[in-house]
Structure 1
Amino acid sequence: MNIKSISLLVVLSTLLLVQSCSALYFELNGGTTKCFIEENPKDTLLVGNYVLEDLNPQAGISTPLALSVIVTDPENHEVLSKQMGASGRFAFQTLIGGEYKICISTNSSKWFGPTIKTRLHLDIQVGANANDYEEIAKVEQLNNLEISVKRLNDRVTQVRKEQSYQKAREITFRNTSESTNSRVMWWAILQVVVLCLTGMWQMRHLKSFFKAKKLV
């Protein structure tokens, strides 16, 4: 087995171990909205699983918890708007590559009574990790080996999407940088030309002034 084959096996093994997901929790008071950014390439599936934990210290208060999720794409178009209960999941697929803004809020404060306080446990899975391979295996009647190959193929595809997206971003940044450098260069040249013309005009003006005063 040569070095290239060994390197390929290492990469594939790493892909099997990599988990493209993020789990977090934070407090979320009623009437407030918290947003965060997920940057992903085109045609990427994102699935969010959540649980709302009631933090109201007052006893005897029973308020049904609800969660509102609004997702906007890089062009500020609404991709998802959903009202859900105290636990559940939401999912969407990116139509274009870029930064997707996910905004989450809970029930508003009541007119009478305390503000609703909750802790949100949120788990976001991206790409191949968002797929339910157990369900896929049942539907497509795949054995363990076939589903492992499919999972690996999906992760390789996701890596290629990420590489293509990052390459496109690099090209965009490079073009922007080159354009900026070109503008800076021409601005510097224009400044030098203006200074030279101003100096020549001042010299001619002074020369005319001295001649008029018969100093030269």
Structure 2
Amino acid sequence: MAVRSGNDQQASIRRTTLEAELRVEAQRVRTRLQPVVERHNLYLEDVDIKVAGSHRTVNVVVDLPEGASGSVGLDVISAISTDLSAAMDAAPEDDDRPYSLEISSPGVSRPLTEPRHWRRNVGRMIEVKLVNGDLVLGRLQEVTDDGVRILPQLPVKKGMKPKQGDPQLLPFGRISRGTVQVEFAHADDEHHEHSEGTDPETSGDVHHGQGDPHGH
């Protein structure tokens, strides 16, 4: 049995302590930035902080509110970035450590982990992995408090028109993971009415806090 050295144990303790401190700091930043995000009619999806030496990288993910269609454009991200940076600099607990503020919107690669994620993607093609390992590919028709209704796309030979199965009701308790599938629809596709949901959500990174009067 391997025995960990004292240095390894100390490093593990420091790492665990740092991770806990970053979670607390991320929650504090989230509380401060949330009103700013809401003023721009957006939803604050996540705040994550990473540290390299004395430098912090604050990752902020914003999304459209539930019920809105489309995605967050780069122009919207650019507009909100100035206000978020100002809110960061005005924080009473700001200790003048250098930081980079990165703002983005979730793309189609984001796993669907919350009901609001599913509701934002009604009409899109979704791959659902069930807890038993089975995969269900189909169009998301409806989201309820208890689960989702999928119109399955049945496997066919290459070159053949996709076939649909009977709608399936999948409780959230049976779902391990859901991901949006990027579609490349043709003009004559019978599902052209869903084409607005085939494009991946626009995402972009805006870096702030470097070279401002506060040294951020």
Q: What TM-score do the two structures reach when normalised by structure 1?
A: 0.26
Flag the structure with higher helix content: 1
**Larger relative contact order (Cα-Cα within 8 Å, sequence gap ≥ 6):** 1
Q: Which has the larger radius of gyration?
A: 1
